[in-house]
Amino acid sequence: MRPYVIVNIAMSADGKISTRERRQVRISGAQDFARVDRLKAACDAVMVGIGTVLADDPSLTIKSEECRRYRRKQGWDDHPVRIVIDSSGRISPEASILNKGEGKRVVVVSKRADASTISLLERKATLIVAGEDEVDLQVLMNELGAMGIHRVLVEGGGTLIAGLIKEGLVNEIYTFIGNVIIGGKDAPTFSDGEGFILESAFPRLSLQEARRIEQGILLHWIVENTYHDSD
Ligand code: NAP
């Protein structure tokens, strides 16, 4: 069974998720961080693209003791499985996501990755090979389902999110819009990639909630017509 996929991202008031130099910026505050920690704690896995790992070096661990306690009560590991989408295996074995906190890691490569890279990364993570050139996200989701991963939180970046949306694999979206303007036509946005041209191809969203958090607003969307096995 293919996992249910939730995307969470923080963007500036002008829709940017970082600067044009792809430098990580603080867009949301403590309350939103705590919300994301709880959202993450309720998922089996957290996923990011290699662009985010190279730019931000996130660990994607659960930060609050309360959330980790909740997970232990469910009989789960302290941290969700951490998944990196990385066709040629560019991730450093020293990356925080492969080293900080207990728990399982998965690096997803394509056939582009060479054998020596794979064997090096296998010391730190479970390797999945999916796709010829870039990672085949459909194949990947089926593999994750077979591994017992039923709920995935995607934490960026814009290229991976665009890929997942294009494949119709995103079920739910949280966008926190913060009170800063980043600007720059080349600064990453929520969904980069090639984009859609035909209006009929635009994915449609259904707004579930709009909630003020500190100086920003959280929008919660359901993606319409997204296939999910439990439907
Ligand atoms: P990304 O989305 O994290 O990773 C994209 C990379 O994933 C691709 O370039 C590609 O690299 C790999 N990939 C493999 N198969 C793919 C597929 N089928 N579809 C899409 N991607 C695939 O990178 P990004 O767009 O550069 O985003 C990084 C930026 O986002 C950083 O500046 C970071 O700070 C920002 N960010 C912001 C937030 C926020 O909440 N504000 C959250 C996360 C990230 P290969 O070809 O090498 O495999």
Q: How is the chain split into domains, by residue range?
A: 4-223
Specify the DSSP class assigned to residue 16: B
pLDDT at position 228: 62
Task: Give the CATH number of domain 4-223; options: 3.90.1300.10, 3.40.50.12780, 3.40.430.10, 3.50.50.60.
Answer: 3.40.430.10
Check pocket membership of 89 for ligand 1, CB cut-off 6 A. Answer: no
Taking only the tens place, the pLDDT of each residue in 153-175 is 999 999 999 999 999 999 999 99
Query: Is residue 109's pLDDT more than 60?
Result: yes
- pLDDT in the model for residue 69: 98
Residue found under tokens 């560019």: 90
- Give the count of beta carbons closer than 10 Å to the beta carbon of residue 193: 14
Tokens matching residue 214? 């500190």
pLDDT at 74 over 80: yes
List pLDDT tens digits, range 160-218: 999 999 999 999 999 999 999 999 999 999 999 999 999 999 999 999 999 999 999 99
- Which residues 6+ apart lie within 8 Å of 53 measured at CB? 84, 86, 91, 95, 97
Taking alpha carbons only, the member of 126, 124, 162 closest to residue 45 is 126
Q: Provide the mean pLDDT of the chain.
A: 96
- DSSP structure string for 182-231: ---TTS-BSS-SS---SGGGSPPEEEEEEEEETTEEEEEEEETT---TT-
14-50 pLDDT, tens per residue? Answer: 999 999 999 899 999 999 999 999 999 999 999 999 9
* Across 72-79, average pLDDT: 97
CA–centroid distance, 141 to ligand 1, in Å, is: 17
pLDDT band at 227 (very low <50, low <70, confident <90, very high): low
What is the model's pTM? 0.97
Q: Which amino acid is at 208?
A: Q
Nearest to 81 by CA among 151, 4, 136: 151
Distances (CA, A) of 6 to 77, 85, 120: 20, 16, 30
d(CA 102, CA 92): 18
List the residue whose alpha carbon is closest to atom 18 of ligand 1.
135
| pLDDT tier for residue 71 given thresholds of 50, 70 and 90 | very high
Q: What confidence tier does 1 reach under pLDDT thresholds 50, 70, 90?
A: confident
Q: How far is the CA of 55 from the centre of ligand 1 (A)?
A: 9
Q: 221 C-alpha to center of ligand 1: Å? A: 21
Asked whether the predicted pLDDT for residue 229 surpasses 60, the reply is no
Q: Is 192 in the pocket of ligand 1 (CB under 6 A)?
A: yes
